Structure 1
Amino acid sequence: TQGAYPGIDAEERGQAEAIARNLREMAGLRTPVIVVVIGEGGSGGALALGVGDRVLMQENACYSVITPEGCAAILYGERTPERVARAAEALKVTAPDLLALGVIDAVVPEPPGGAHRHPEAAIALVGEALAQHLQELVALPLDELLARRYAKFRCMGEGVVIEGKNESTPS
């Protein structure tokens, strides 16, 4: 989905707390956690899934903290096609970009024409990826699995360069 409603009503009903609780609970699950982003994953709800031991993403899926349209409205004050395209490029919402940034761990290929045209083939490809990653994860001792999960989540965003400046470098 594009994400949850970002208004005050949602916050009054505890949306942020629910996302934070989900992150905490998933971080402590004493079993392998594999996340698969299919279609569109956006906003805090989708990002709450990023705490998995492995985050897989179909090659034509999108995954971001905000939609390009929402980003354009906030940053540029307008949602013109040009501004939305610029926001999409800056957000790096595609599987190859997110793999290069270390946000996801693997790209799951889709059948020619996309998953929506050949759902059975897409399901099989996701199943193969899940089986491969699960086999690797169950081989790890539980304490090591949890330590790796924690370290992975804590390191997200390190070394990301924004506008020619390393985010981890103080201003």
Structure 2
Amino acid sequence: MRQFLDFEKPVAELENKIDELRQMTASEGVNISDEISRLSVKAEKQLRLLYSKLSPSQKVQVARHAQRPHALDYIRSLISDFTPLAGDRQFAEDKAVVGGLGRFEGQPVVVIGTERGADLETRLAHNFGMARPEGYRKAIRLMKLAARFRLPVLTFVDTSGAWPGIDAEARGQAEAIARAIETCLSIPVPLIATVIGEGGSGGAVALASGDRVLMLENAIYSVISPEACSSILWRDPKQASTAAESLRLTAQDLKKFGIIDRIIQEPVGGAQRDPEITITTAGRAIAEELAALQAENPKGLISRRREKFLAIGRVTGE
């Protein structure tokens, strides 16, 4: 059953009415196809209008939509012969970070993603996509494996941030994230990161410091969540919409600032409306970027990747 966001209420009313008419047609044999067609066109227009002018706070809602495709959905659809690898070889297995070996369009790759889970059971199992240190250390292990065997790395980022619990801090959360970023910047193979939902704080940067950073049209990517930002700056979580505007966390803003390299178009109404098309579109974009990187030599990849991130925010005088 489709879940509607608050601002989608006009569309929800129309689509619910369409469903009622279809049920009436099926049960009573009444021919009201013309009315159904009219309402369907109206609902489509309303949806296009809504999504043509989303505010940053509305994009936050879309990016967090529970029915958007998650990392494992992309892996299942785009990666054949996938073999998951577990554990950081130091402490434990963290299911918030998933990864392993597989083939992308026939080419061997290492794939890593943050998985939020699709229902309550899987969300609890994956800790809502918030990794502990062992999750980032597992990612480091997989990236080093990719470097050893000269395999490209594909990452799928969807997390509100790293797990903020005392247990994570006690095991070196900040150090693990820093090491993951360092590894991203130093491996001599192509690394393509795709922000598929929410890219939150260092927990996202740890897997997104790549040669190419792609981002879905309605995804968000920010140093802090709007709720946390508003609580810190205004002592009022109700100011989250103001914070979302100020943070410049949309794909369009980040492309303008040079933080990301490419925006991947979503179906009208967001990725949750048609996950299959969304994943296929993302796969094509990743394939194009990977093909462009294949000719680069390892030293050149590392040098340009590091310079890319060092240049972010750099101000030069006249």
Specify the TM-score bucket, using the shorter chain as the normaliser. Answer: 0.7 to 0.9
Q: What is the Cα deviation at residue 9 of structure 1?
A: 4.2
The superposition leaves residues 22-62 of structure 1 with CA deviations (integer Å, 9 ceiling, x where unpaired) of: 01111111110000001111021102223100000000001
The code of the aligned residue for 1:73 comes to S
2 CA distance for matches of 1:50 and 1:103?
11
The code of the aligned residue for 1:35 comes to A
Match of 2:162 in 1: 4
Count residues in correspondence.
159
2 CA distance for matches of 1:3 and 1:104?
18
Q: What is the RMSD of the two structures over their aligned residues, measured on CA atoms?
A: 1.5
**Matched residue SS, 2:193:** strand
Moved >6 Å (runs of 4+): none
Q: In the alignment, does 2:227 pair up with 1:54?
A: no
Q: Give the structure-2-normalised TM-score.
A: 0.48
2 CA distance for matches of 1:128 and 1:93?
24
Larger Rg: 2
2 CA distance for matches of 1:33 and 1:78?
39
Match of 2:245 in 1: 89
2 CA distance for matches of 1:88 and 1:103?
17
2 CA distance for matches of 1:35 and 1:50?
5
2:194·2:208 contact (CA, 8 Å) conserved in 1?
no
Give the 3 Å change call, closer, same or farther, for CA 9–73 of structure 1 in structure 2: farther
Structure 1's unaligned 5+ residue stretches are 160-167
The superposition leaves residues 123-163 of structure 1 with CA deviations (integer Å, 9 ceiling, x where unpaired) of: 1100010011001111222221111001011112224xxxx
State which drifts further: 127-136 or 112-121: 112-121
The code of the aligned residue for 2:285 comes to A
Match of 1:124 in 2: 280
Give the 3 Å change call, closer, same or farther, for CA 49–157 of structure 1 in structure 2: farther
Q: In the alignment, does 2:289 pair up with 1:150?
A: no
Q: What is the Cα deviation at residue 5 of structure 1?
A: 3.4
2 CA distance for matches of 1:75 and 1:8?
24
Q: Give the structure-1-normalised TM-score.
A: 0.87
Aligned-pair identity in percent equals 52
- The equivalent position to 1:37 in structure 2, one of 192, 195, 214, is 195
**Matched residue SS, 1:38:** strand
Of structures 1 and 2, the one scoring higher in RCO (CA 8 A, sep 6+) is: 1
1:47·1:64 contact (CA, 8 Å) conserved in 2?
no
Match of 2:65 in 1: none
2 CA distance for matches of 1:154 and 1:144?
15
2 CA distance for matches of 1:10 and 1:73?
23
Q: In the alignment, does 2:182 pair up with 1:16?
A: no
1 CA distance for matches of 2:199 and 2:187?
22
